[in-house]
Amino acid sequence: MLKWIVLAPLIGAIINGFFGKRLGEKLIGLIASASVGVSALLAFTVFFTKLLPLPVGERVITEHFFTWIKVGNFQADFAYLLDPLSGIYILFITGVGLLIHIYATGYMHGDPGYYRFFTYLNLFMFMMLTLVLADNLLLLFVGWEGVGLCSYLLIGYYIRRQEAGDAAKKAFITNRIGDFGYMIAMFLVFTTFGTISFVAKGGVPSFLEQAAALSPEAIWTFGTMTGIALLLFVGATGKSAQIPLFVWLPDAMAGPTPVSALIHAATMVTAGVYLTARCSAVVVKSPTAMAVMAVIGAATAIFAATIGLAQNDIKKVLAYSTVSQLGYMFLACGVGAITAGVFHVVTHAFFKALLFLGSGSVIHGMHEEQDIRRMGGLKKYMPITFATMMAGWLAISGFPLLSGFFSKDEILWKTWSTTALPHGWGKFLWVIAALTALITAIYMTRMMVMTFFGESRFGKGHGHTDHHGDAHHGDDHGHGHHGDPHESPAVMWVPLAVLAVLSIVGGFIGVPAALGGSNHFEHFLEPVIAHVVPAGEATHAVPATVEHGGAEAHSAAPASTEAHGDAHHDVGTERLFTVISVLLGFLGIGLGAAVWLKNPLKSMPKLLENKYYVDEIYETTVIQPLEHTSRDLLWKVVDVKIIDGVVNGAARTFAGLSGILRHTQSGYARNYAAVILIGAIIIIGYFGFLATR
């Protein structure tokens, strides 16, 4: 059953890939959406009828597809693992994925590469599901690389545009750096634990169980665990766009908007968080790695948020917002609130997919205009898009009771009250995170105000659309390029509406206890997430990993009661912080509205508009030196002079030597006979000499 969740989109991709050229648009869209639909249906069925009825500690379903590699004691299978963590992931991946597929059938209408687009999109779904359902690090890596490949193909989807190709290469190469870390981490896991599986196999406990059982006093534990955790985090920084490898994500917006929504907001970029949560047993063993993760996460969050303040491309604003929100997720992982991080992944998938699809609808309605300076007043032209995007905007800004409010509030509170980091760090990181929340509300308000409110600023200068936008080559919308903005068709706004509803109510799966909820989400995830050892305490960590049998339930129980104890203790403070974050959200919205309603074209600091010159810094410190060394040293000196010199020199030496030797070849048979004779005489003489001695 699990394997069909994964394989259904692959079948769709194969059909569309091989026969799509001859199928009509309707059929292609139907095949692509149906294959994801089947996958979603199966995912929901398995989740609710198979996984949920199991007792809390034993919610693990494994399925062996086939043995892939078996060498010595190394084993990697195509085997799938469904537990609460991967369960949540497949639900929102297939659910949001299905909505985006349906939306894309409308958005990509009339595009000559229609079948190609859906082939890639289905292939992506296959790879993403492989990633989250994999039961070992190597199969996870297959999915990890696969989504990277599909991301590359889809960013560069508009093959005629130079910047799309450049952005695709940038994304791929940047991700390779992260993948390098992942691979080394994988090798290290194998040499340390002798297995890379997440589940016990052939009597060998999974590396997660082994890691959880390690004594924290062992001197080597600390170093190796820090190494593995940090290298995994390097992989995560690439895939999930954290400092210093975040540069590819904003450029990735050169791809079609549904791709930005699916891959670069909702699913693929959260793979890093998934990896961290999956390997939490290793990560929590290393306070250093967690501190690094928290600091990088917080730094990325505020860094990207400030850049988002000054962007004028609607998709760029959302891209930086995504980077910033991913920073939040890693901050949560770093402070030991991994469940809160995953919770934010889910709510973020809802509202960011919504915002991206909404921006796609705007771009579509504006005839490929992406610059919010040339929008304004769109709410009367596109009421449905406006209403749905409102939901996303309020959710990400932390408006009370919407999904983003609960998850972000959870992260902020867990950051303040963290026990995983040295004293005082949590407070400092909280300040950064709270500031980021404020800035998030401001820039999202700015984007919404500039797009939907005020006077319309289009109609006069429509000449510059050519170098912007998802230029639909061969665009044959019946209404030409100079019509008024129009509302998108139902096939596009229905997914928007569904996502809007999810963005509004999605947070109620994880209402914290302090607000009168029972945080189902956290309790559901608890058995698969390792618990954090408070900094400075060398107590035995709870071995809460994926395993069969009753030992699991036994060990998870005291941990959750402990968590309850904490919660009761600080209810007052937690509520106070909730109030603070609500106030911050309102302040941000108010500030944004006050500034940009009055002057929508207010100029922003150049430093922010140019993204802190990070691309330029990389250009001068990494790319230029690399290029110079490659061209002036490696090519012109090492290759041309040394390598070619050695090869050509050897050839010339032999040519010279044979030039001398060729004179012995006179061509006269009698000469050769004479040489043979002389040789014979010499040999006979030699033996004669030996005999007479």
- With CB under 8 A as the rule, give the number of residues binding another protein: 11
Q: Which residues contact 211 (CB under 8 A, 6 or more apart)?
A: 193, 225, 281, 282, 285, 545
Interatomic CA distance for residues 262 and 121, integer angstroms? 9
* Cβ distance to another protein smaller for residue 460 or 663: 663
Which of residues 22, 667, 689, 693 is near another protein by CB under 8 A? 667
Place of tokens 């659309």: 465
Q: Is 572 exposed, middle or buried (0-12, 13-18, 19+ CB in 10 A)?
A: exposed
For residue 469, count other CB atoms closer than 10 A to its CB: 18
To another protein, the closest distance from the beta carbon of 651 in angstroms equals: 19
Q: Does 660 bind another protein (CB under 8 A)?
A: no
Looking at the Cβ atoms of 661 and 690, the one nearer to another protein is 661
Report how far residue 439's alpha carbon sits from residue 396's, in angstroms, rounded to the nearest whole number: 11
Cβ-contact 520, 346 below 8 angstroms: no
Which of 662/693 has CB closer to another protein?
A: 662
Place of tokens 């050519």: 466
Q: At its nearest, how many Å lie between another protein and the CB of residue 666?
A: 5
Which one of 191, 539, 599, 665 is in contact with another protein (CB under 8 A)?
A: 665
DSSP characters for 504-528? HHGGGGG--GGGT---HHHHHHGGG
Of 603 and 665, which has the nearer Cβ to another protein? 665
CB closer to another protein out of 594 and 681: 681
Least CB distance to another protein at residue 664 (A): 10
Q: Which of 462-470, 506-514, 628-636, 666-674 is the region at the interface with another protein (rule: CB under 8 A)? A: 666-674
Among 52, 666, 679, 687, binds another protein (CB under 8 A): 666
Q: Token pair of 42, please?
A: 């199966």
Nearer to another protein, 594 or 677 (CB): 677
Nearer to another protein, 482 or 663 (CB): 663
Residue from 668, 689, 691, 692 binding another protein (CB under 8 A): 668
Residues 29/118, Cβ–Cβ less than 8 Å = yes
Residue 620 vs 666, nearer CB to another protein: 666
- Please say which residue, 490 or 677, places its beta carbon nearer to another protein: 677
Among 26, 160, 663, 693, binds another protein (CB under 8 A): 663
Least distance from C-beta 671 to another protein, angstroms? 9
Cα separation of 6 and 11, whole Å?
10
- Rounded to whole angstroms, the Cα distance separating 474 from 109 reads 11
Phi/psi for 81 (5° steps) reads: -130, 120
Ramachandran angles phi, psi of 103, nearest 5°: -55, -45
Residue 691 Cβ vs another protein, minimum distance, rounded to whole Å = 16
Q: Contact, 104 vs 488, CB < 8 A?
A: no
Site track for another protein across 614-653, x = CB under 8 A: ----------------------------------------
d(CA 56, CA 502): 26
C-beta of 663 vs 693, nearer to another protein:
663
Shortest distance (Å) from residue 693 CB to another protein: 23
- The mark string for 64-103 relative to another protein (x by CB under 8 A, - otherwise) is ----------------------------------------
Angle between helices 425-452 and 287-308 (to 10 degrees): 30
Stretch that binds another protein, among 149-157, 159-167, 386-394, 660-668 (CB under 8 A): 660-668
677 sits near another protein (criterion: CB under 8 A): yes
Nearer to another protein, 553 or 673 (CB): 673
Binding another protein by CB under 8 A: which of 655, 669, 690, 691?
669
Residue 230, Cβ density class (10 Å: 0-12 exposed, 13-18 middle, ≥19 buried): middle
Single out the segment in contact with another protein by CB under 8 A; choices: 144-152, 387-395, 443-451, 664-672.
664-672
CA-based nearest residue to 332, from 278, 296, 285: 296
The type of residue at 3 is K
Query: Among residues 643, 650, 657, 674, which is the contact residue for another protein, using CB under 8 A?
Result: 674
219 versus 691: smaller Cβ distance to another protein: 691
Residue linked to tokens 């090798």: 187
Binding of another protein by 691 (CB under 8 A): no
Question: Cβ distance 614 to 247 under 8 Å?
Answer: yes
With 0-12 CB in 10 A as exposed, 13-18 as middle and 19+ as buried, what is 663?
A: exposed
- In whole angstroms, give the CA distance from residue 275 to residue 277: 5
Beta-bridge mates of residue 78: 66
Q: Which C-beta is closer to another protein: that of 561 or that of 658?
A: 658
C-beta of 55 vs 667, nearer to another protein: 667
Do the beta carbons of residue 542 and residue 555 sit within 8 Å? yes
Task: Round the CA-based radius of gyration of the chain to a whole number and report it.
Answer: 30
What the block records as the tokens of 119 is: 């082939």
For 619-651, the three-class secondary structure string (H helix, E strand, C coil) is: HHHHHHHHHHHHHHHHHHHHHHHHHHHHHHHHH
Among the residue ranges 266-274, 444-452, 640-648, 662-670, the one whose residues contact another protein (CB under 8 A)? 662-670
Q: Which stretch binds another protein (CB under 8 A): 107-115, 418-426, 628-636, 673-681?
A: 673-681
655 near another protein, rule: CB under 8 A: no
Closer residue to another protein (CB): 539 or 665: 665
Tell me the two tokens of residue 334: 């770093």
Interface region with another protein, contact rule CB under 8 A, candidates 59-67, 79-87, 89-97, 663-671? 663-671
Q: Is 673 in the site for another protein (CB under 8 A)?
A: yes
Applying CB under 8 A, which of residues 561, 662, 689, 693 lies at the interface with another protein? 662
- Least separation in angstroms between residue 149's CB and another protein is 58
In the complex, the residues that contact another protein under the rule CB under 8 A are 662-663, 665-670, 673-674, 677
